Structure 1
Amino acid sequence: MSNDSTPGPQPGDFTEQLRASTTGLGLVWAQTTDGVIGKDGDMPWHLPEDMAHFTRLTSGHPVIMGRKTWLSFPDKYRPLPGRTNIVVTRQEGWGQTAEAEGALAVKSLDDALLESQFAPGHETVWVLGGGEIFAQTVDVADVAVVTFIDSATEGDTYAPELTYEWKLAASEPATGWLTSASGTRYRFTLWRRTETK
C-alpha cells in the first residue's frame, strides 16, 4: 500500500457518487486500521472531514442506531437533522424520556427496518451502529461505506468483519491516503455484497 498522501479535504465528489449509486440497506462507520470504532461510547479521534462525509451521505435517509450510539452524539446534534432517527433499545419506556426526544424508539432491529420503510428517503437506509447493531445487520446489508483512519487507537468497540461475501468497489483516494486539516490520514471506501442474501 502506498504511503503517498493527498491533501484534503477532497471527499465531496466521491460522497455524491456514493449517494447516487447506493440503494438498499447500508452500513456506515469509521475505524482505525486495526478495527477500532469506539471507546467509552465515543469515537477516539477528531476528523471533521469524515463527519462532513457522513452528513452528506446519510442526509435525507432514515438512520438506524442503538441507544448508546444515539447518546454518543452531542445534544445539539440529536436528532440528526434531515433524517428519521430510529433508535433500537430494550429499555422499556425509554422512548417517552427527555433523552429520547426526536428519536423513533423501537424494541428490535426488525421493528427498525419496518419503520424505516415508511420514512422519507427509504430507498436507502443507513445503519450507524454500534457494535451490536452492526453484528445483526452485516449479514443482510447491501453496501458498507467505511472510513479507514491511519491510527492505532485503543478502543472497546470494533467494526464488523467484512468477509469473503464483500468486495471493495471503490476507494477515495484509489491508492494512498487523504490528509485531514488536523494531519490525520484517512481513506473512504465502498464495499458491496457479492453473495446473495
Structure 2
Amino acid sequence: MLAAIWAQDEQGTIGKENRLPWHLPNDLKFFKQMTEDNTIVMGRKTFEGMGSRPLPNRQTIVLTRDKEYRAEGVIVFHTVEEVLEYAKTFAGITFISGGSAVYEDFLPYCDVLYRTVINHSFEGDTKFPAVAWDEWTLINLSEGEQDENNHYAYQFETYQRKVIAE
C-alpha cells in the first residue's frame, strides 16, 4: 500500500529551507508511530534537510535524479516506477514523506493520506501540491492535544481514496 504523510499549516506550507517551520512534538510522535516498521520515501533535499541519516526502525528510500548519489543505510532510487515496484512487493506501508515534488509525483498512486493540519500560518518556501479532494473521503479526524510542548491547535486527518465504480 502507498500512503502520503505530511503536516501543513493553514496555507498549505510544509517546509522552509528543507526543514519543518514549526516544532510540534506530538506530530513527530504520530509520524514515528505510523511509519515505524514500514518504508518512507523522500527526495534527496528532504533527506539532507534531516541530517542525511535514516530514521530508526524503518526502511528509507531516497529518490534522486543524481545517478551517482549514495548515502549510508538507505536505498537510492531514481524513478517513480522503481518506488512503485518496491511498494508492490513490500508487505507493509510505503509512506511518501516529502518534499513537494515527490508528493506531487506520488499522489496519483496513493491509497491513503495522513495529513496533520496546524491551525496557524508559518513563513515557508514549500507548499503541499494541490489535491483533488473530491477523490478522497475523510475517514478519521482527531484533535491534537495542546500543551506546554505543543503550542498550536492541530488535528490529524486520514483520507481514503474513493472507489470509482466502473
Aligned length: 163
User: Residue 42 of structure 1 aligns to a residue in which SS?
Assistant: coil
Give the CA deviation at 1:196: 4.0
Q: Which runs of 5+ in 1 are unaligned?
A: 1-23
The aligned residue for residue 141 of structure 2 is: 171
148, 161, 166: which one aligns with 1:193:
161
Is 1:138 paired with 2:92? no
Identity over the aligned pairs, expressed in percent? Answer: 31
User: Residue 101 of structure 2 aligns to a residue in which SS?
Assistant: helix
The aligned residue for residue 15 of structure 1 is: none
The aligned residue for residue 152 of structure 1 is: 121
Flag the structure with larger Rg.
1
CA–CA distance in structure 1, aligned partners of residues 88 and 54 of structure 2:
19
User: Residue 123 of structure 2 aligns to a residue in which SS?
Assistant: coil
CA–CA distance in structure 1, aligned partners of residues 112 and 147 of structure 2:
25
Give the CA deviation at 1:180: 4.0
Is 1:103 paired with 2:82? no
Q: TM-score, normalised by structure 2?
A: 0.90
Please say if residues 86 and 116 of structure 1, whose CA atoms lie closer than 8 Å, have aligned partners that are also in contact: no
Please say if residues 180 and 186 of structure 1, whose CA atoms lie closer than 8 Å, have aligned partners that are also in contact: no
Q: TM-score, normalised by structure 1?
A: 0.77
Please say if residues 2 and 87 of structure 2, whose CA atoms lie closer than 8 Å, have aligned partners that are also in contact: no
User: Residue 133 of structure 1 aligns to a residue in which SS?
Assistant: helix
Please say if residues 49 and 180 of structure 1, whose CA atoms lie closer than 8 Å, have aligned partners that are also in contact: no
130, 143, 151: which one aligns with 1:161:
130
Is 1:126 paired with 2:95? yes
CA–CA distance in structure 2, aligned partners of residues 116 and 84 of structure 1:
12
The aligned residue for residue 112 of structure 1 is: 83
Please say if residues 3 and 111 of structure 2, whose CA atoms lie closer than 8 Å, have aligned partners that are also in contact: yes
Q: 1:130 to 1:111 in 2, by over 3 A?
A: same
Q: Which runs of 5+ in 2 are unaligned?
A: none
Is 1:36 paired with 2:21? no
